[in-house]
Structure 1
Amino acid sequence: MRLILPSPAKINLSLWVKGKRPDGYHELVTVMHTVNLFDVLSFLPSDRLVLSVRGNNSLPLDRSNLIIKACRLFKEKTGINPKVSIKLTKRIPVGAGLGGGSSNAAATLKGLNTIYGNPLSEEELHELAAKLGSDVPFFLKGGLAIAYGRGEKLKFFSPANFEILLVFPGFPCSTAEVYQNLPSIKREVAVEDAERLIISPLINENFSELIDNMENDLEKSESPCVKEVLRVKEKLKEIGLKPLMSGSGSCVFAIIKGEKPDTTPLKKEGWWFKFLSAV
């Protein structure tokens, strides 16, 4: 049986940090939406587990790869040894705040569950996904959601309709480094606040209000990478946009209202960019 699954990127329409937890993670509230930038995972029968990657030679193929970790967790939970050849076609930039690795892990769990006759319930898949990373449970479904806790608790909404300009400046950001260099932040933000500030104007297509309300506390990090990201933001402001860093960076995006902006300054910088839609 051959199975091909898309693995979408996400953006964070806002991210608020509520403080650091005793377990070392940060408590947060964030609003995420998938966009139409996809990696692709192909699953083929094999006599053993094999992973290959096309489109990025820097990704590890050993146990540190989230796809391999997902396969190992699936085996531990079900007792099924996945004998599949997984080919990852990588299009989502790595270390960009787009959740590419988390999305790949979620697609792997869904793919293995489909191939082996759905031995895991949705709840069990969510449990495994949360062990792999804070963003992984979101990618089991995708669309639009508020994530809270360390990001594994989710409240989903109907997907919205909007377009963005996404810019990848060519360098990755380390999520761990961004959080390690974050000053002490204790925001009093609840899920209901995220609904009022982001979800409501988004669903009602009140994009001016939405853009005014969007913020990302990780932009306050003293990480050298984030300082470079802020320079990218300034360039987007120069072409009339109100940009935001996605997740822990390094990608920056802006919601597009009406005419597409002149991207000549971005081309001069040599940055990768795409106009994308919410999915």
Structure 2
Amino acid sequence: MTNPIFFPAPAKLNLFLHINGRRPDGYHELQTLFQFLDIADELSFTPTHQSEIILEPPLPGVNNSDNLIIRAANLLKPYTDKARGVKITLKKNLPMGGGIGGGSSDAATTLVVLNRLWQCGLNNQQLGQLGRKLGADVPIFIHGYAAFAQGIGEQLTPAFPAEQYYLLLTPNAMVSTAKIFNHPDLPRSTPKFPPEQYCYEKTANDCQGIVTDHYPEVAQALKWLVEYAPARMTGTGCCIFAPFTTLSAAKAVADRCPAQFHSRVCQGMNQSSLYKKLEGLGL
């Protein structure tokens, strides 16, 4: 029996996140810089001749109707020429509600891989349009390369941030993205700037203050890590990260991490590990 092939669904960081305004439809105008990390969930796909989408193991507390992996697979069904099903096995390595894109990345990997296995024939732009129905971050994982994002996250400009090392802390908290973006005190008027003027030290995460006010575990993690490096939150949290120029420097701080936080050292990547895997397999 052939061993299943597992495809990565990599994590991402928002190296900064500025909220520039709120549109009449309720969506927020923003600017952010996405970079991938060398840590990932892993998914395998076994096509079947039945129409059922099976996910093993099921995600605790998540109904199939809400599961982004199953929803992604179902979005592709109209583009197949016959009844298609699949058994999907998930190795969940990334925290849920961490702000590093676990669910969105899982959905993107499902769209990209099944598009090939089911021979749907969609290009990445078309897959991105499907992905946007699942979440604002799904298209960047389909895009597969580090990018400066604007608008509601759909306007992507290629970016090449340094592929440095990061210490990533995961506090014991699950942040509600909807709660943060709907909060009346969220800053919504940060001026826009051209992508070429990006500088880490001159940017921030506009969601960070609201999150640390309402989630003390996140505030504690940030307070500890900022003593060692210019730390900030990614996305709407809960994960906190800090950049380091060397692996040894990141590991030295990780060794001091309090037991209440889960820590890991990882490296930034400007190409998604999913596409590296697909290239290696000739897919």
**Superposition CA RMSD, Å:** 2.2
SS of 1:44 mapped into structure 2: strand
Superposition TM-score, scaled by structure 1 size:
0.86
| Deviations 1:85-129 (CA, angstroms, capped at 9, x unpaired) | 001110010000001100001000011101012421222111111
Query: Which of 250, 266, 272 does residue 238 from structure 2 map onto?
Result: 250
C-alpha contact 1:71 1:82 (8 A) present in aligned 2:
no
- 1:185 and 2:188 correspond: yes
Alpha-carbon distance in 2 for matches of 1:220, 1:13: 16
Unmatched 5+ stretches in structure 1: 199-209
**Which deviates more, 223-232 or 112-121?**
223-232
SS of the residue corresponding to residue 140 of structure 1 reads helix
1:161 corresponding residue in structure 2: 163
CA shift for structure 1 position 4: 2.8
Does the aligned pair in 2 maintain the 1:214–1:244 contact within 8 Å?
no
Matched, 1:241 2:229: yes
In structure 2, distance between residues paired with 1:222 and 1:273: 19
Q: 1:201 aligns to what?
A: none
* 1:266 equivalent in alignment to 2:257: yes
> How far 1:170 sits from its partner (Å)?
1.9
C-alpha deviation, 1:82, in angstroms: 3.4
Letter in 2 for 1:276: C
1:30-109 mapped onto 2 (5 Å cutoff):
30-46=32-48, 47=50, 48-53=52-57, 57-78=59-80, 81-109=83-111
**Compared CA separation, residues 82 and 213, structure 1 to 2 (3 A):** farther
CA distance in structure 2 between the partners assigned to 1:40 and 1:222 by the alignment: 29
Partner of 1:147: 149
Equivalent position of 2:9 in the other structure:
7
Q: Does 1:196 align with 2:186?
A: no
Distance 1:159 1:188 in 2: 21
For residues 63 and 195 of structure 1, the distance between their equivalents in structure 2, rounded to whole angstroms, comes to 41
What residue identity is the alignment partner of 2:244? Answer: I
Percent identity at matched positions?
A: 33
Q: Under a length normalisation based on structure 2, what TM-score does the superposition of the two structures give?
A: 0.84
Measured after TM superposition, the shift of residue 254 of structure 1 is 0.0
| Structure 1 segment 166-177 matched on structure 2, within 5 A | 166-177=168-179
Tell me what 2:274 maps to. Answer: none
Alignment partner of 1:26 is 2:28: yes
Q: Aligned partner of 2:245: which letter?
A: K
Deviation at 1:224, TM superposition (A): 5.0
Q: SS where residue 172 of structure 2 aligns?
A: coil
Give CA-to-partner distance per residue, 1:189-242, whole Å, 9 cap, x none.
14x1x33124xxxxxxxxxxx3x224100113267544542221111123x211
1:31-66 per-position Cα deviation (integer Å, ceiling 9, x unaligned): 010001110010012333111137xx5252511001
Amino acid of the structure 2 residue aligned with 1:188: P
Measured in 1, the distance between the counterparts of 2:255 and 2:133 equals: 43
Alpha-carbon distance in 2 for matches of 1:222, 1:45: 41
Report the counterpart of residue 19 of structure 2 in structure 1. Answer: 17
Aligned residues: 261
Q: 1:215 matched to which residue of 2? A: 204
Choose from 219, 229, 234 the match for 2:218.
Answer: 229
Q: 1:263 to 1:119 in 2, by over 3 A?
A: closer
1:278 deviation in Å?
1.0
- Structure 1: distance between partners of 2:177 and 2:218: 13
